[in-house]
Amino acid sequence: MKVLVTVKRVIDPYVKVRVKSDGTGVETANVKMAMNPFCEIAVEQAVRMKEAGVVTEIVAVSIGAPQCQETLRTAMAMGADRGILVETGTVDMQPLAVAKLVKAIIDKEQPKLVIMGKQAIDDDSNQAGQMVSALLGWPQSAFTSAIAVNGDSADVTREIDGGLEKLTIKLPAVVTTDLRLNEPRYVTLPNIMKAKKKPLEVLKPEALGVDITPRLKTLKVEEPPKRSAGVKVADVAELVAKLRNEARVI
């Protein structure tokens, strides 16, 4: 079966982001970029399923600036067979527009399973996967920590607030990944070289017939208020005294 995975290019999760001085966005010039961690988990899952003989082809999709080609190459170095970039330039891509583009590609590619990250760690929206599945009228499994395909359905385990939930969903379906689905592999140099030769198609949103005009207007961005500096206590007795007499929370 064919699997489609989505990979977003984001600021590296361990970089401290800075707000631009004019409050219009965050500084991205000369900032280290990376594949969204949840998308790495999505690619890893697809590759493991291919290694297990369940999956025959993996198509990776990224949406954004031309540099997303690098993210697609990383996905291919991990084991994806080919890549599709929808070049949207500098437009602020919001989850609904992303979902419409992904749906348009799914209509062409006809995968049996779509694996997406549960959340992009830049906009923290946690929407696109659920939206893709809604637009297709497919079942969804959001925040998935285990998946086993059985013919025309899949048994999935989802992380919910009180613990875990198990579902059986019909295929085709959209699954979004949670952290504990797997631990992504590191890419090796030979695989990076191999990935350079894999096919990478570039499309424009117009070719897919999707209007990507943002629905949300960002009026401003700012840093949250800073906490005032705390104090170091010498020992447990001082800590207890501070809690009782100063903070008065116990």
Partner 1 sequence: MSVLVIAEHDGKQLKPGTTNTVTAAAKIGGDITMLVVGHKCAEAAQVAAKIAGVKKVLLADAPQYAGSGAENMAALVLTIAGDYGHILAPATGFGKNFMPRLAALLDAQQISDISAVVSADTFVRPIYAGNVMATVQSADKVKVITVRATGFDAAAEGGSAAVENLAAGPDTGLSRFIGQELSKSDRPELTAARIIVSGGRGMGSGENFKILEALADKLGAAVGASRAAVDSGFVPNDYQVGQTGKIVAPELYIAIGISGAIQHLAGMKDSKVIIAINKDPEAPIFAVADYWLVDDLFKAVPELTQQL
Ligand X SMILES: Cc1cc2nc3c(=O)[nH]c(=O)nc-3n(C[C@H](O)[C@H](O)[C@H](O)COP(=O)(O)OP(=O)(O)OC[C@H]3O[C@@H](n4cnc5c(N)ncnc54)[C@H](O)[C@@H]3O)c2cc1C
Ligand Y SMILES: Nc1ncnc2c1ncn2[C@@H]1O[C@H](COP(=O)(O)O)[C@@H](O)[C@H]1O
Site residues (CB under 6 A) for ligand Y, limited to 162-201: none
Separation of alpha carbons 75 and 94, rounded Å: 22
Q: Check binding of 233 to ligand X (CB under 6 A).
A: no
- Residues making up the chain, counted from first to last: 250
Least spacing, CB of residue 36 vs ligand X, in Å: 8
Pick one of ligand Y, ligand X, partner 1, none as the site partner of residue 98 (Cβ within 5 to 8 A by kind): ligand Y
DSSP annotation string for 66-99: TTHHHHHHHHHHHT-SEEEEEE-TTS---HHHHH
Judged by CB, which is closer to partner 1: 73, or 100?
Answer: 100
Pick from 92, 109, 123, 165: which binds ligand Y (CB under 6 A)? 123
Pick one of ligand Y, partner 1, ligand X, none as the site partner of residue 143 (Cβ within 5 to 8 A by kind): partner 1
Least spacing, CB of residue 94 vs ligand Y, in Å: 8
Separation of alpha carbons 238 and 222, rounded Å: 36
Q: Check binding of 52 to partner 1 (CB under 8 A).
A: no
Q: Name which of 163, 158, 149, 91 is nearest 129 in CA terms.
A: 158
Interface segment toward partner 1; rule CB under 8 A; list 42-50, 62-70, 80-88, 215-223:
215-223
Q: Which residues contact 34 (CB under 8 A, 6 or more apart)?
A: 9, 10, 11, 12, 13
User: Which residue lies nearest ligand Y, judged by its C-beta?
Assistant: 117
Q: Which residues contact 214 (CB under 8 A, 6 or more apart)?
A: 91, 92, 93, 94, 97
Residues 111-150: x/- map of binding to partner 1 (CB under 8 A)?
-------xx-xxxxxxxxxxxxxxx-xxxxxxx-x-----
Residue 199, classified by CB atoms within 10 Å of its CB into exposed (0-12), middle (13-18) or buried (19+), is: exposed
Q: Which residues bind ligand Y (CB under 6 A)?
A: 6-8, 36, 38-39, 62-64, 93, 95, 98, 116-117, 119-120, 123, 125-129
